[in-house]
């Protein structure tokens, strides 16, 4: 089967850089009209330019996903421009505001991470539901993390990302009869520009090598690795897949066999 998003309209949040940008471009290459939704207008314009380079259609919408009014305006603008919404990728987020181990974070750090990573996904999912149902169905993909499974620091980020499992599964069961599928992606370390800079700042090649040691496939992921997984979950290739979590982590969570 050829992966084809022709006639589909997709909203990708956090598409001004990194993983979200790779997803937006990949979806456009597959034929979708893409809304690049982000708080970063400059990065958003760069993503739109990359989409146009592929011959696709992309539109930037300035939105803070943790703000219900912004999210409502984004959905309205998308429907007006494209006449419906078929795909939502809840990708905006990250470990924000100095997230850390429990004893080192304050309440505002906790709330910021929950607001953007979890409440933002709730707001966007809820806002697109009527459009998807009216159009006969849709597909939602929520960007979680291996942190949701492993208990490795970043308490508020990890808590928000595991909340996405329940959000996604409840959407899957509540709206499956309306043709809506909902799934989660859990990436391991993905070498985006921002991530590379963070690794440099926290110790350079030593830290990099230490992390790499944990990966069965002996490499970190690329934004394109995640974009391919998102394309699968957003297309008819996964038409019998809903309420599940897809790990894109190079074997990190599987653990290593050091017996060789």
Which residues in 221-250 contact ligand NAD (CB under 6 A)? Answer: none
The set of residues, in sequence order, having a beta carbon less than 8 Å from that of 192 and lying 6+ positions away, is: 17, 18, 19, 223
Q: Which residues pair with 37 in a beta bridge?
A: 13, 61
Closest separation in Å from C-beta 171 to ligand NAD: 17
DSSP state of 238: G
Q: Which of 164, 188, 87 is nearest to 132 (CA)?
A: 87
Q: Which residues pair with 221 in a beta bridge?
A: 190
Closest separation in Å from C-beta 205 to ligand NAD: 17
Cα–Cα distance measured from residue 74 to residue 204, given in angstroms and rounded to the nearest whole number:
39
Provide the pairing of β-strand 138-143 with 33-38: unpaired
Closest separation in Å from C-beta 203 to ligand NAD: 16
Q: Does 143 bind ligand NAD (CB under 6 A)?
A: yes
Q: Does 163 bind ligand NAD (CB under 6 A)?
A: no
Q: Which of 92, 164, 231, 247 touches ligand NAD (CB under 6 A)?
A: 92
Q: Does 140 bind ligand NAD (CB under 6 A)?
A: no
Closer Cβ to ligand NAD, 90 or 242, answer by number: 90
Q: How far apart, in Å, are the Cα atoms of 121 and each of 55, 63, 124?
A: 29, 13, 5
Q: Does 29 bind ligand NAD (CB under 6 A)?
A: no
**Residue 157 annotated to the active site:** yes
The pair of three-digit structure tokens given for residue 190, joined into one six-digit string: 């993905």
From residue 43 to residue 82, what is the string marking binding to ligand NAD with x (rule CB under 6 A)? x-------------------xxxx----------------
Closest separation in Å from C-beta 179 to ligand NAD: 26
User: Which residues are the active-site residues?
Assistant: 157
């Amino acid at each position: 089967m050829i992966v084809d998003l022709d006639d589909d309209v997709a909203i990708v949040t956090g598409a001004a850089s990194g993983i979200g940008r790779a997803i937006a471009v990949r979806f456009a290459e597959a034929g979708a009209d893409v809304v690049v939704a982000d708080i970063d207008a400059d990065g958003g314009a760069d993503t739109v330019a990359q989409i146009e380079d592929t011959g696709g259609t992309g539109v930037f919408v300035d939105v803070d996903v943790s703000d219900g009014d912004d999210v409502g305006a984004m959905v309205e603008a998308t429907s007006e421009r494209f006449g419906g919404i078929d795909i939502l990728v809840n990708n905006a987020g990250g470990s924000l505001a100095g997230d850390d181990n429990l004893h080192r974070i304050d309440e505002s750090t906790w709330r910021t991470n929950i607001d953007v990573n979890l409440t933002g996904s709730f707001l966007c999912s809820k806002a697109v539901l009527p459009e998807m149902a009216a159009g006969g169905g849709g597909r939602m993909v929520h960007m979680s993390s291996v942190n949701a499974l492993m208990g490795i620091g970043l308490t508020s980020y990890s808590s928000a990302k595991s909340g996405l499992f329940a959000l996604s599964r409840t959407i899957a069961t509540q709206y499956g009869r309306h043709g809506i599928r909902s799934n989660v992606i859990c990436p391991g370390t993905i070498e985006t520009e921002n991530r590379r800079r963070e690794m440099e700042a926290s110790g350079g090649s030593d830290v990099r090598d230490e992390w790499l040691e944990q990966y069965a496939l002996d490499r970190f992921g690329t934004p394109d690795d995640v974009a391919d997984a998102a394309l699968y979950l957003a297309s008819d290739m996964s038409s019998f897949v809903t309420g599940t979590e897809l790990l894109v982590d190079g074997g990190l969570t599987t653990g290593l066999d050091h017996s060789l």
